[in-house]
Amino acid sequence: MKRALMLVVAVIGLPPPSWAQVPGLVAPKLGGYVQVRETAQEKVGLTATLNRARFSIDGTLPARFGYRLLTELQASTGARTPAAVSLREAIVRWTPGAFAVTAGQFKTPFSREYLLPVPVVETPDFAAVVDSLAPKYDLGLMVEYAWGPLATAHVGAFNGDGQNASANRDSTVLVVGRIVVRPLAQLALGASVAHDHADSLRWGIEAQAEHRGLMARAEYIARQRPFQDDDFGWYALGGFRITPQVQIIARQEDFQRPAIGTSRRVRATTFGAIIEVAPNRVRLLVDGVRRLAGASQSRMDSVIGQIQVRF
C-alpha cells in the first residue's frame, strides 16, 4: 500500500505526503466492508437491502498516538427516503501502556455485543434489548486501564446527544463505565452502567465463555426511571464450530417495556449458520428468525441471507 501510494504521487507530480517525509510515520491503513442482504419475510415477500457499506482509515503517529475514521457510505434514513453518507467514528487515541485515552466520536463502553466489531457479530442484527437500551455512538472522552489479562475498566463522559451532534444541546453529561474480569482464560464476566439524567439509569451484566469450538454469551440490560416500570431484557446466544470455516448459532431473546404496555414486548428465536467462504474476507450468514411482538404476540417468521466482503 505504501509503495503504491508513493508511485501514484510520483507519477502525477505531487510532493511526497507528510508520512513519507517524517521519520516514524507510516501510511494509513485503508479498510472497510460491504454487507448485502436478502430477507424473505412472511406476508411481505423478498426484500434486498444494502445493509452496510463502510470505509475506514486507521493510522499511527509518534508518541504512541493513533487515529481512526469510519464512514457509513449507505446509512439508512428510512424505508421511503434515500440513504445518506454518515460519520460513525472519528477518534484520536493515546496508548502509553496499560493506560489509554480515547477522544472523539466512538461507541460508548456498554454491552459486550454492541462493542463487537460489526463484521464479527454472529447474527444479522443486534438483540432487541441491546439495540434499544445500550447507548450508541457519541462524542466524548474515555479512559481505560488494563490489569494484564485479568481485567479491563473503561470510564467515559459523553454529550449524550448521539452521533454527529455538533454540541451538547441539553447541557447534561452521559457517564458510562464498564469493567470486565477474566477469572479463567475461557471466561469473561462484565458489568456496565450509564447515567445520563437524574431520572435515568441504565445497567447491564454479561458473561461469555469459549472452549474447544463451543461459545456461549448472555446479557441482561435494564433501564430504571422513577415512577415508571423498568425497561428490561435479555438474550442468550450459543455457537458451535463444526469446521474451521462453518459455525452454527442459536439465540433466544426477550425485551419488555411495561411502562408502554404489553404491545412493546418483543421475543425472538434465531437459528443460523456462519460460513467463512474466505476467512476474514468473505462471510455468509444464513438465519431463520421467529419474532413474537405486540399485545397479542403476533408471530412473524423470516429467513435472512447476508454476504459480507471485507477489504
Contacts of 225 (CB under 8 A, 6+ apart): 199, 200, 201, 259
Domains (range + CATH), the chain: 27-310 (2.40.160.10)
Residue 109 Ramachandran class (φ > 0 left, ψ -120 to 50 alpha, else beta): beta
pTM of the predicted model as reported, rounded to 2 decimal places: 0.88
| Number of neighbours of residue 262 by Cβ within 10 angstroms | 12
CA distance 245 to 270: 20
Burial class (CB in 10 A: 0-12, 13-18, 19+), 87: middle
Task: Tell me the residue type at 67.
Answer: Y
Question: Along the 311 residues of the chain, how does pLDDT read in single tens digits?
Answer: 445 445 444 444 555 555 455 566 788 999 999 999 999 998 889 999 999 999 999 999 999 999 999 999 977 666 667 778 899 999 999 999 999 999 999 999 999 999 999 999 999 999 999 999 999 999 999 999 999 999 999 999 999 988 888 777 777 899 999 999 999 999 999 999 999 876 789 999 999 999 999 999 999 999 998 877 889 999 999 999 999 999 999 999 999 998 777 668 999 999 999 999 999 999 999 999 999 988 788 899 999 999 999 99
Report which residue type is found at 63.
A
Q: H/E element holding 114?
A: helix 112-115
